[in-house]
Amino acid sequence: YVQSEDIFMRMLTPEFSEDGRNTVVEFPKGDISFLHGINAIGTKFKTAGATGPQATKYSFSTNAFYGEKLRMHLVFDFGL
């Protein structure tokens, strides 16, 4: 269960073809990760930055409440 807002789960890493052009993205190491944000992915003909303002690179903005640290609350239930 994700009890924090705006947390995304990435499971497995896609394989990119050699002609991935503008769609190749750097993913965190490993096959499972929880992300605070996701960078935009371009298209075959345009880079992500050329597709509009929502396609800018993700950057974390600090929050004084958390003391400028990234936090997330996750609960794992393995249901025995």
> Tens of pLDDT along 19-57?
666 666 777 788 888 888 777 777 777 777 777 766 667
Distance from C-alpha of 50 to C-alpha of 71, rounded to nearest angstrom:
31
State both tokens at 56.
């800018």
pTM value?
0.56
Contact by Cβ (8 Å): 42, 51: yes
